[in-house]
């Protein structure tokens, strides 16, 4: 039973379905549906989509292949780099979430996963020993829904009801002092990803569907709140912060048109939760959340979906007892997240520009290492991992 059909949940369900298991995937939304996300996928996440045979579908949906990144730092000359061919991919991509999540969820359905949309899960159910044995909730008609499961996976985001219901503690908390705001713009040429580093801010451009781009600004929450207090509207505050971080980009946008309201998050916690217990596990933002400044949320979700699917497969096949399998997931997840998590926390403190630039370089190297490690693993669903 997987609660939440976004990045982590749909991917976990997909892989378990391909491994031959009986999976129910539920979500409160009716797909296609959008969610708050700047949605550029780092190389690790693109490698995951390629491994699962879904990258071609993402590109066929109209998401442009991104092969160029331009770096702009205050007081320095712009640097443009091509996306190198590594770990089996030579591009990045930033598909809209209502497209991406639907594609992965539909792939899960094709793998035999039973998908139930419009179901709001209110909590878990336990047996007499305290083990989680299913969930309870309501469908869109208001009828009670009870689903039994050997394992319940909470992939229902930062405000996870599964995490609250099992009282999963936060084991590491590193503050929530960062904010992100974004909007979509059209009518301009978007040659690739653009990053702009300024004092106490970073802004960027991610080309996406229909000739649009996601234009975003990350900054300390205190600065974003101050900008909103001084502005007549959320849009005015966003444009003010964008002008501070990337005045040239802000000027260019006047020749285009904004096609969406401004969205975002004023406080983005950096935290890690306990990821498992008797009969349950957490994946994606439900178990681990980080500031948007490093743009790594989707890649984290896909990586951890693979880690969790592999250990659940072992438990369901009888190759490992439940506790040992889930403890292995916790250990591997915590080890895998550490490098980017530390860099995220450091960047979310918005050090002086030279230090921020160095952190950005370290982030790039860490992503390349993680992508290469992922590419070297067996793909869940292939012969090495199928039950004997």
Averaged pLDDT, 47-63:
98
**Domain residue extents for the chain:** 2-63+94-174+268-348+361-385, 178-265
**Inter-residue contact 83 to 109 (CB < 8 Å):** no
Residue 383: pLDDT above 70? no
Is residue 50 pLDDT above 60, yes or no?
Answer: yes
Do the domains at 2-63+94-174+268-348+361-385 and 178-265 have one common CATH topology? no
For the segment 170-198, the average pLDDT, to the nearest whole number, is: 97
Asked, as a colleague might, if the bond just before 32 is cis with ω within 30 of 0, I would say yes
Bridge partner residues of 132 (DSSP): 126
Alpha helices, DSSP H, located in 138-233? 161-165, 221-230
Dump pLDDT digits (tens) for 106-118: 999 999 999 999 9
Closest to 20 measured CA to CA, from 113, 136, 88? 113
Q: Which CATH topology does 178-265 take?
A: D-Amino Acid Oxidase; Chain A, domain 2 (3.30.9)
Report CA-CA distances (Å) from 217 to 184, 224, 240, 291: 12, 10, 10, 12
**Whole-number pLDDT of residue 387:** 45
Return d(Cα 144, Cα 119) in angstroms, integer. 9
What per-residue confidence (pLDDT) applies to 308? Answer: 98
Q: Are 215 and 185 in contact (CB under 8 A)?
A: yes
- CA 165 to each of CA 210, 274, 318: distance values in angstroms, whole numbers, following the listed order: 40, 13, 27
| Mean pLDDT along residues 197-226 | 98
Chain segment 241-254, per-residue pLDDT in tens:
999 999 999 999 99
CATH architecture of the domain with range 2-63+94-174+268-348+361-385 = 3-Layer(bba) Sandwich (3.50)
CA distance 235 to 274: 38
What is the rounded CA–CA span in Å between residue 165 and residue 274?
13
Query: CA 359 from chain center: how many Å?
Result: 21
pLDDT of residue 386: 41
Q: Which residue has the tokens 């801010």?
A: 201
338 CB contacts (<8 Å, ≥6 apart)? none
**Distance from the first to the final alpha carbon of the chain:** 23
Helices (H), the chain: 7-18, 43-51, 55-60, 97-110, 161-165, 221-230, 234-245, 247-253, 297-317, 322-347, 353-375
CB 101 within 8 A of CB 6: yes
């Amino acid at each position: 039973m997987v609660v939440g059909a976004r990045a982590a949940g749909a991917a976990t369900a997909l892989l378990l379905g391909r491994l031959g298991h009986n999976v129910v995937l539920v979500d409160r939304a009716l797909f296609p549906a959008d969610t708050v996300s700047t949605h550029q996928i780092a190389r690790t996440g693109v490698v995951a989509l390629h491994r699962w045979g879904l990258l071609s579908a993402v590109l066929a949906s109209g998401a442009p292949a991104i092969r160029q990144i331009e770096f702009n730092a205050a007081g320095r000359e712009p640097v443009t780099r091509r996306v190198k061919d590594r770990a089996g991919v030579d591009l990045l991509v930033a598909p809209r979430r209502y497209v991406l999540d639907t594609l992965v969820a539909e792939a899960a359905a094709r793998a035999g996963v039973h998908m139930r949309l419009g179901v709001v899960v209110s909590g878990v159910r336990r047996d007499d020993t305290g083990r989680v044995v299913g969930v309870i909730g309501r469908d869109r008609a208001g009828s009670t829904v009870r689903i039994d499961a050997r394992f319940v996976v909470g992939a229902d985001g930062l405000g996870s009801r599964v995490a609250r219901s099992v009282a999963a503690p936060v084991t590491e908390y590193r503050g929530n002092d960062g904010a992100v705001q974004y909007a979509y713009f059209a009518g301009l040429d978007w040659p690739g990803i653009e990053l702009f580093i300024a004092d106490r801010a970073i802004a960027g451009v991610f080309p996406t569907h229909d000739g649009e781009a996601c234009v975003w600004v990350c900054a300390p929450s205190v600065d974003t709140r101050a900008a909103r207090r001084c502005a007549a509207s959320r849009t005015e505050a966003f444009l003010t912060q964008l002008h501070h971080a990337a005045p040239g980009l802000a000027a260019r946008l006047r020749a285009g048109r904004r096609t969406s309201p401004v969205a975002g998050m004023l406080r983005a916690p950096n935290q890690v939760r306990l990821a498992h217990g008797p009969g349950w596990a957490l994946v994606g933002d439900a178990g681990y959340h980080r500031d948007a400044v490093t743009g790594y949320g989707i890649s984290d979700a896909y990586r951890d979906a693979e880690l969790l699917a592999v250990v659940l497969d072992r438990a369901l096949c009888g190759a490992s007892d439940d506790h040992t399998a889930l403890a292995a997931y916790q250990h591997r997840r915590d080890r895998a997240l550490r490098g980017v998590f530390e860099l995220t926390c450091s960047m979310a403190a918005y050090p002086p520009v030279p230090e921020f630039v160095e952190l950005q370089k370290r982030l790039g190297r860490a992503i390349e290492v993680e992508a290469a490690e992922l590419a070297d693993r067996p793909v869940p669903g292939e012969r090495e991992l199928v039950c004997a």
